[in-house]
Amino acid sequence: MDLTPTPSQTVGPYLHLGLTDAGNISRIAVDAAKGERVWLTFRVLDGEGVPVPDAMIELWQADSEGNYADQESSEEGAVFGGFGRLATAEDGSCTFETIRPGCLPGPGETVQAPHINVSVLGRGILKRLSTRVYFAEEPANAADPVLALVPENRRATLLARPDAAGTSNWIFDVRLRGEGETVFFDV
């Protein structure tokens, strides 16, 4: 039996061929959306710290009040859709315009800190990688039940940091392996 992967079993080098400009969703919240407007830049890096120019990032997030968009609000022309999808550029980065999500209900009586759910796809990744982006210095991070499951010395891999200019721009590095590898969840 031949177990060689076929194009249907891996994303392969063809990811960008299927991701047309019509499939890109970089603006998750329009100007009329309530909440703090942020620009979140992802940088996808391999184990050597080299940018990955052919990855795709998908986001799913709650609005500023901690509610996920329903089907009607996800349609064309919506103020807040809650979903984004972009391919990385040659420098391994892509930037989404959105709003900072609010706290969400967690298991039992817990509350989850503001976060964004992330999927990473790319060449050589046979199954999407799932992670979360939390915001550095967010007080609610200390009590987040999911973040508490991550060993303390690895939690920083899930934190977006503000850019050096102190603007509304945040940076999140996705390290696929090696030193500082991002924590990925088995979902």
pLDDT for the residue 111? 95
162: enclosing H helix or E strand: strand 159-162
pLDDT for the residue 54? 87
What is d(CA 132, CA 130) in angstroms, rounded to the nearest whole number?
7
Domain boundaries, the chain: 24-175
One digit per residue, the tens of pLDDT, for the chain of length 187 reads 666 655 554 455 555 555 556 678 999 988 889 999 999 999 999 999 999 998 999 999 999 999 998 755 445 557 888 999 999 999 999 999 999 999 999 989 999 999 999 999 988 888 899 999 999 999 999 999 999 999 999 999 999 999 987 778 999 999 999 999 999 999 8
4: exposed, middle or buried (Cβ count in 10 Å: 0-12, 13-18, 19+)? exposed
pLDDT for the residue 78? 72
Query: Which superfamily does 24-175 belong to?
Result: Aromatic compound dioxygenase (2.60.130.10)
φ and ψ of 7, to 5 deg:
-55, -25
Structural contact between residues 44 and 55, judged by C-beta atoms closer than 8 angstroms: yes
Q: Sign of the C-alpha dihedral, residues 76, 74, 9, 47? A: positive
pLDDT for the residue 73? 47
Token pair in block for residue 161: 């940091």
